A and B are shown apart, each in its own frame.
Chain A
Amino acid sequence: MINRISFDRVLKKVEKPARYIGMEKNSIKKDLSKVDIKFAFAFPDVYEVGMSHLGLHILYNLLNNEDYIACERVFAPWIDMEEEMKREGIPLFTLENKEPINNFDFLGFTLQYEMSYTNIINMLDLGNVPIFSKDRKEEDPLVIAGGPCAYNPEPIADFIDFFVIGEGEEVVLEIMKIYREFKLKGYKRDEFLKEVSKIEGVYVPKFYEVYYKEDNTIERMEPEIDGIPRVINKRIIKDIDNSYYPDKIIVPFIETVHDRIPLEIFRGCTRGCRFCQAGMIYRPVREKKVETLLELAEKLVNNTGYADISLTSLSSCDYSQLQFLISKLINKYGEKQIGVSLPSLRLDSFSIDILKEIEKVRKTGLTFAPEAGSQRLRDVINKGVTEKDLETAVTYAFEEGWSTIKLYFMIGLPTETEEDLLGIRDLGYKVKNIFFNFPKDKRKGNLKITLSASCFVPKPFTPFQWVGQNSLEEFNEKINLLRNEIRDRKITFNYHDPKLSYLEAVLARGDRRLSKVIARAWELGCKFDGWSEIFDYNKWMKAFKETGICADFYALRERKYDEVLPWDFINIGVDKSFLYSEYKKATKGIPTKDCREGCNNCGINRSFIGGVC
């Protein structure tokens, strides 16, 4: 345990000290001397972000359900906290027992976005754990990682002892059982790593060697020891309805990003948007039954006291019994002032009916994501919404009293032209006109339209995994065009920093040679790169220069179909050839139908479920 007196001194000095105190309702503090395995669940961002992540709540409770395991949480300390901890000589510790993280058997990092990679290194260093896997000794914790970014684990291969690819609920317990056996019969780090590398979904980077061609692309990747798989299959939970889900979750003292009950209604998505990684890697769609969800909701409401139930999933409106579920929940909890919300809404009429049901009380802003400004470009990315959908949706919204509308777009999408870009402006003005076409006495509130543009980042395992990202100059030109074109008191134009998106593109599609760049960037002081006020582009560029690695090679280059991609050794169940045919269809502007309307032959039902999706 860390020194309590020093800790008290530190807490008096830092902003939001409650980030570091633990003790929340439903947190679990076990006697660490009485368990076989100590597992630190590490989230490489601040408390408020990490505590809003559903995966944390699932795995935390799943692991603590086992008597022989204690799972505790650790988050990235904010800059001020890090300084004070260093001053007082306090190592990074877990919230439950305030135990230094290097006393744990496992440090399990969750990889939610690429820009948190330097925070992983920083957390290891603050916890006195060697940052490179090769430097860790027998007594050091095993540093493991999972989550969406683990689908291309290569850029951080040098730091992580092993990755878990796919859904973690089953495989993590398989790993824990093997570890416990090893501990009983005599644990040797390397022997253990060899054993777990045979588990489906586990990837131990140091047992694989990557060979490169002269043009710096990958020649091949080879297992270096016998008996380990050449291809790593992702793990999925086949029976999601009977799979583990917590009936109580930690209720933070301080306000977090999402202060509500996350009720996961299904996994996967059938829409097939071509830019979307989640839509491909989480296939196939698996729904939970309404009865299961109602039962869980009941327990979660009683155990947390939250006033909001959020039905979480990708494209939540696609849940086959959504209306039935929502009316059941509202009937049951409406009187208790407990609301139901959906994280995302589509622009179609069905969604609007749902909205009528759930938004009886609160009229906060409405957000829609057309993603592209023209129908042509929306067909390219296979985002199946039309201008008519948007018109219907905002007309309804204005009728019902909303006056704050946010529209999300991406710029730099493949095949984009100036006309597509100006379509973003046009949609904004169209929404404004719809509002003012209402007779004056029917208009409610003060109109505020926000058009928000992010810079497109091509991601692995999407039909756009081969495309070159726009350069910073191109992005800046496009942003300037829109900034000049959108001049209206009622319409605000926001955009993301292209530099951040550029770096994200490098890290998203990088190979293991990037590990040394990330380590160097961290040495130069990079951390919290996802936080725009802290992100330091120049330090990153310095790191690339000093390590002799070309960032453009990863971000801007158009890949050929036959190129070996760094993540090709991972099998998500969707065929590479399907992704490529989707890419080709995209360039021709041909949409692909929703899988619910018929199979598109992506391969997932052959490789993982052996039947119909």
Chain B
Amino acid sequence: MLMNLRIKFTKKGYLKYISHLDTMRLFQRAFRRGNIPIKYSQGFNPQPKMSIANPLALGIESEEEFMDIELLKKISEQEFIEIINNQLPDGIKILDAKYVNDDKSLPSTVRWSYYEINVKTKNMMDKNLLEEKINEWLNKKEIMFERRRYKKGKEIKDVKNIRPLIGNISLVKDNKNINDDAKYIIRIRCLLKSGDNGSLKPTDFLEALDSYLSLNMEIEMADIKRLNIFTEVDGKIQSPM
């Protein structure tokens, strides 16, 4: 009964500007155009059985996203990839597909996202010092951060220790602190919590980091890309595929 197909795909270029729901719809239509025998839910308003591992915020690119779909009839992975890639726009591409036999739903197992961030800053410091400061920050017992969310149009603020939500941070080695319009760019990679057991948005992460480093980052304009998603099954952190 290997009818659960796990798909790995990219979301790059201008396609980063379509939302999670738009992405779901895009795939539903691509499946319909490709005559993929998707299973539908029962009842009032039948919906195709598909779930994306972890919603990607609007404006963030991704090198690897995952989605599970349930099929009525098995088709070969290779055939599936060919059919659907023909139906997808530039920027969204299926890299791999495999039948899986997991009893837990994909979204419920997601724990971490690994991001690469390019962000312009007004200030800069020596690279060694920067690394030192970042380590100093991570060594703190608590990193308190005020998160703002919106619920029903109302702003809700809560202060929370985000340290447990940060796995690691590294400055990318080939990082050139180029001077561009008297601005600098730093490129960092970071592992942040994602999924049901707590998550940290990369932009919130940057805001918290910058309040410690005082580099005056242009967070709104940052280029953010998700490189990997990791799940945790029986205490083991691993790729969903």
- A residues contacting B by CB (< 8 A) are 9, 11-13, 17-18, 21-25, 251, 253-255, 259, 301-307, 336-338, 361-362
Contacts and interface: CB of A to CB of B under 8 A. Distances in A.
Question: What interface size band does chain B fall in?
Answer: 20 to 34
A23 B89 contact: yes
A305 B18 contact: no
Contact of A253 (B26, B45, B46, B59): B26
B212 interface: no
A12 B31 contact: no
7 contacts: A22-B14, A23-B90, A25-B33, A253-B18, A255-B22, A301-B32, A305-B87
Contact of A337 (B25, B44, B46): B46
B220 A361 contact: no
A25 B29 contact: yes
A301 B29 CA distance: 10
Nearest to A252: B22
Given A12-B59, A305-B29, A253 B90 contact: no
A362 B32 contact: no
Interface string B83-112: 000010111000000000000000000000
A362 B45 contact: yes
B199 to A, nearest CB: 22
Given A25-B89, A307-B28, 11 more contacts: A17-B58, A18-B19, A25-B29, A251-B29, A253-B18, A254-B18, A254-B19, A255-B22, A304-B33, A305-B30, A361-B45
B221 interface: yes
Contact of A12 (B18, B21, B220): B220
B32 A336 contact: yes
Contact of B22 (A22, A254, A337): A254
A306 B221 CA distance: 35
Contact of A11 (B17, B46, B89, B91): B17
B96 to A, nearest CB: 23
A12 B29 contact: no
Contacts of B28: 305, 307
Interface of B: 14-15, 17-19, 21-22, 25-26, 28-33, 40, 44-46, 48, 58-59, 87, 89-91, 220-221
A251 B87 CA distance: 12
Contacts of A24: 89
A23 B14 contact: yes
B17 to A, nearest CB: 4
Contacts, number: 67
B158 to A, nearest CB: 25
Nearest to B35: A302
A9 B18 contact: no
A254 B30 CA distance: 15
Contacts of B31: 305
Contacts of B14: 11, 18, 21-23
Q: Which of B15, B25, B31, B45 has the most CB of A within 10 A?
A: B25
Contacts of A338: 32
B17 A18 contact: yes
A13 B220 contact: yes
A22 B13 CA distance: 12
A361 B47 CA distance: 12
A307 B28 CA distance: 9
A23 B59 CA distance: 16
Given A23-B90, A302-B33, A304-B29, A18 B22 contact: yes
Contacts of B44: 361
Contacts of A22: 14
Contacts of A255: 21-22, 25
Contacts of B26: 253
B17 A21 contact: yes
A520 B40 CA distance: 55
A248 B40 CA distance: 25
Contact of B33 (A253, A305, A361): A305
Nearest to B31: A305
A445 to B, nearest CB: 13
A362 B44 CA distance: 7
Contacts of A11: 14, 17
A318 to B, nearest CB: 30
A261 B206 CA distance: 43
B17 A17 contact: yes
Contacts of B22: 18, 253-255
Given A9-B221, A12-B59, A305 B32 contact: yes
Nearest to A361: B45
